[in-house]
Amino acid sequence: GKWAVPVTLTIPTGSADNTEPYPGVVLVHGSGPNDRDETIGITGAHKPFKDLAWGLANQGIAVLRYDKRTMVYGEKINKFTFTVREESIDDALAAVELLRNHKQINNEKIYILGHSLGGILAPRIGKEAGDRLAGLIILAGPARPLEDLILEQTRYLVAADGETSEQEADGIRRLE
């Protein structure tokens, strides 16, 4: 539809010989405009979702990962009315349906793996998905309110280069 995003489905090796459908996992991103690998850092050398997909595939588990809507359509999104539903929940539910309709995936063994913000949202996604999911996996899902976490992360990032500009200090004061 209007907000279609590119996906990658990683199927375990030896899939041509396998007659049993594989369990499947949908990876749900943390906050921000992430690609399907959840690439981190300026050099792009760290790709935790790609690493997870390959590791799980080597254990016989299929993994669906996708570019986040904010990554693909960032300039078209109204940041004042955009919610976590549009940013994460709707696409995660669509990804579950994609796996459910794939002949190599076991419909009774589909899981959501949420990282950070995805971990916060995993219970909401699970509730909406109902019996279409076998379970939830939460990685680094904060147990504190998101606004506290954003302030802490912003302070850390601003201080990382050793100097805090007046503009950065003003931004922190507004978050407080």
d(CA 127, CA 3): 23
CB 39 within 8 A of CB 46: yes
How confident is the model at residue 13, as a pLDDT? 82
Q: Per residue in 38-87, pLDDT tens?
A: 998 777 789 999 999 999 999 999 999 999 999 999 888 887 788 999 99
How confident is the model at residue 105, as a pLDDT? 96
d(CA 65, CA 58): 16
Cα 9 to Cα 29, 62, 83, 93, 148: the distances in Å are: 16, 7, 26, 15, 35
d(CA 4, CA 84): 16
How confident is the model at residue 51, as a pLDDT? 97
Predicted confidence (pLDDT) at residue 15 exceeds the cutoff of 90: no
| pLDDT: which is higher, 24 or 163 | 24
